[in-house]
Amino acid sequence: MTPQTIDYDALKKRGFLRQKQEGFFVLRTRISSGIYKKEQLEKLAEISEKYGRGFIHATVRQGLEVPFIRFQDIASVENELDGAGIERGTSGPRLRSTTSCPGNNWCKQGLIDTFSLGQRIEKDLGIICGMDLPHKFKITISGCPNTCTRPQGTEIGIHGQVDVASSDKRAGFAVYLGGCGGRTPRNGFKLDKIYSESEVLAIVKKVVAFFKDKAKPKQRLALLIEEIGRDNFLKEISE
Ligand code: SF4
């Protein structure tokens, strides 16, 4: 296969991104909530020794990347990843891996179970990293208003917050919509309620479906909201 006949977009979808250095690919992996098992870390270390240059890079979205893999080794690397249950990250017009802090799993400030919410988005809603969409789309979860993972800066941002309006001052979920980074960064706007987990899941489902249906190619959610107006957007997702 020559460089002209390689389907780079298909490789990107499978987690192999073309490097600046000709002939090399970086393997991008991801794992739910950023928790890699010991065996998976050992396998990635082995892959980096065998096919890369013996080092691994941690991405801002909690994936681990192994650079300097040659095209002819990709199939072998994929076999090794499948055997170890390591999922591939992605790039391009697709859903990125959902990022979360530990939340109440071990952080003293944590108000919500961030890992459980991330897993429910994938398992209950089928909204999984690599899903084809008009443009890149990110979901970020933080366990409390300290927002260590900066949920305000992604399309859907969620953080734990005490619902002061509730009689028992229970912890719930605050939601930001329409944030993004890039060259025209935006902070998402915060919805004015504190939600239950099932309500948050319903919002995530509606917003992703709306974006998939209505956004133009290469249009981030922030720009789609600006185009149609925030009130119309909220009506569309019934909020
Ligand atoms: S956002 Fe809150 S719960 Fe998450 S790591 Fe930061 S302080 Fe802990």
Q: In the numeric block, which tokens belong to residue 76?
A: 């072998």
182, 220 contact by CB (below 8 A): yes
Q: Tokens for 63?
A: 């994936």
Which structure tokens are listed for 93?
Answer: 């017009």
Query: Residue 101 has what pLDDT?
Result: 96
Distance from Cα 215 to the centre of ligand 1, integer Å: 32
Mean pLDDT of all residues in the chain? 94
| Closest atom of ligand 1 relative to the 108 alpha carbon | 8
Fold of domain 8-88: Sulfite Reductase Hemoprotein; domain 2 (3.90.480)
Q: 26: closest CA among 99, 80, 88, 84?
A: 88
Tell me the fold of 99-236.
Sulfite Reductase Hemoprotein; domain 1 (3.30.413)
* Cβ–Cβ < 8 Å for 146, 139: no
Pocket test for ligand 1, best of 62, 100, 109 (most atoms within 8 A of CB): 109
- For the four alpha carbons of 135, 31, 152 and 201, in that order, the dihedral sign comes to positive
List pocket residues of ligand 1, CB cut-off 6 Å: 101-103, 107, 109-110, 142-144, 146-148
Copy the structure tokens of residue 37.
Answer: 């098992």
- Return the pLDDT at 108: 98
61-97 tens-digit pLDDT: 999 999 999 999 999 999 999 999 999 988 889 999 9
- The phi, psi pair for 214, rounded to 5°, reads -105, -25
Parts of the chain belonging to CATH 3.90.480.10: 8-88
Mutational pocket test of ligand 1: of 144, 152, 173, the residue with most ligand atoms within 8 Å of the beta carbon: 144
Instruction: In whole angstroms, give the CA distance from residue 171 to residue 215.
Output: 33
Query: Regarding predicted confidence, which is higher, 44 or 5?
Result: 44
Structure tokens of 180?
A: 């993004």
| 193: Cα within 13 Å, side-chain hemisphere | 7
pLDDT at residue 33 in the model: 81
As a residue count, the chain comes to: 239
Rounded-to-integer distance, Cα 108 and Cα 138, Å: 26
Looking at the chain, the domain(s) classified CATH 3.30.413.10 span 99-236
